[in-house]
């Protein structure tokens, strides 16, 4: 059985997730740690639980989700994995992060990119890939069917959706992907979004004003 732990990081209040199971292998998803205190919180959690980080995953490559890609690489030797369609998004961060007041250490590039469909595994855990662009050009969500949870990035929030007005975003694409790819998941599937509190698919079907 997989467990998930979230950390709220950086001025954008981004959710960084650690997903781990009884093998103690662990995936770090969307590392947004910015301050030393934020970095220490994640490292200490990993240390205290004796976890072994084996995967670094990015749902997408906006600055608030990749701030600590380099830190994770330095700590654990992991290069990020994301969909190749996010490469230009990641490249752009180097130029715009300083303009937004961020000190940004450039992320390493993947050795391998993630496909649109299929699965990635670590320990006893399997994550199905769900390709859901609209907030960003090649956004992926990670669905753990056995534990009925979705790490959703900036696609679907509690009673809201990701913004679609950033480069590579598209509102109608975003809504279509939520309705066709996320709303087919079980109603009691817990969604862990990139910002804000978790929710369920059923709650959003009923109460999300955008859908």
> Which range of residues forms the domain containing residue 11?
3-207
The pLDDT value recorded for residue 70 is 98
Structurally, the chain folds into a number of domains equal to 1
Given a cut of 70, the residues of the chain with pLDDT beneath it are none
Residue listed under structure tokens 């980080």: 53
Instruction: Report how far residue 208's alpha carbon sits from residue 161's, in angstroms, rounded to the nearest whole number.
Output: 8
Note the pLDDT of residue 39: 98
* pLDDT for position 20: 98
Beta bridge partners of 121: 126
Structure confidence at residue 150 (pLDDT): 99
Q: Which of 169, 132, 127 lies closest to 149, judged by CA?
A: 127
CA distance 108 to 176: 32
pLDDT confidence of residue 207: 98
Domain CATH code at residue 11: 3.60.15.10
Residue 96 φ/ψ, nearest 5 degrees: -90, -20
| pLDDT confidence of residue 204 | 98
**118 φψ region: left (φ > 0), alpha (ψ -120 to 50), beta (else):** left
Query: How far is it between the farthest Cα atoms of the chain?
Result: 44
- Per-residue model confidence (pLDDT) at position 186: 98
| pLDDT tens per residue across span 106-116 | 999 999 999 99
Compute CA distances 154 → 22, 43, 151, 193, whole Å.
28, 24, 10, 6
Q: Quick one: pLDDT at residue 46?
A: 98
The pLDDT value given to residue 1: 93
Contact 86, 58 (CB under 8 A): yes
- What confidence tens digit (pLDDT) does each residue in 16-40 have? 999 999 999 999 999 999 999 999 9
């Amino acid at each position: 059985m997989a467990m998930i732990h979230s950390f709220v990081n950086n001025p954008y209040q981004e959710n960084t997730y650690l997903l781990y199971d009884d093998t103690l292998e662990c995936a770090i998803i969307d590392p947004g740690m910015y301050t030393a205190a934020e970095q220490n919180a994640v490292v200490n959690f990993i240390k205290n639980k004796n976890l072994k980080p084996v995967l670094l995953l990015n749902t997408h490559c906006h600055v608030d989700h990749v701030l600590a890609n380099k830190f994770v690489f330095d700590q654990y030797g992991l290069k990020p994995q994301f969909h190749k369609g996010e490469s230009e998004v990641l490249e752009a961060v180097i130029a715009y992060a300083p303009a937004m007041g961020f000190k940004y250490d450039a992320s390493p590039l993947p050795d391998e990119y993630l496909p649109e469909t299929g699965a990635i595994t670590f320990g006893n855990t399997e994550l199905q890939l769900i390709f859901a662009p609209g907030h960003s050009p090649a956004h992926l969500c990670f669905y753990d069917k056995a534990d009925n949870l979705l790490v959703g990035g900036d696609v679907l929030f509690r009673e809201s959706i990701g913004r679609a007005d950033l480069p590579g975003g598209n509102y109608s694409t975003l809504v279509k992907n939520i309705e066709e790819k996320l709303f087919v998941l079980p109603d009691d599937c817990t969604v862990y979004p990139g910002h804000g509190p978790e929710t369920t698919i059923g709650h959003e079907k009923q109460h999300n004003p955008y859908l």
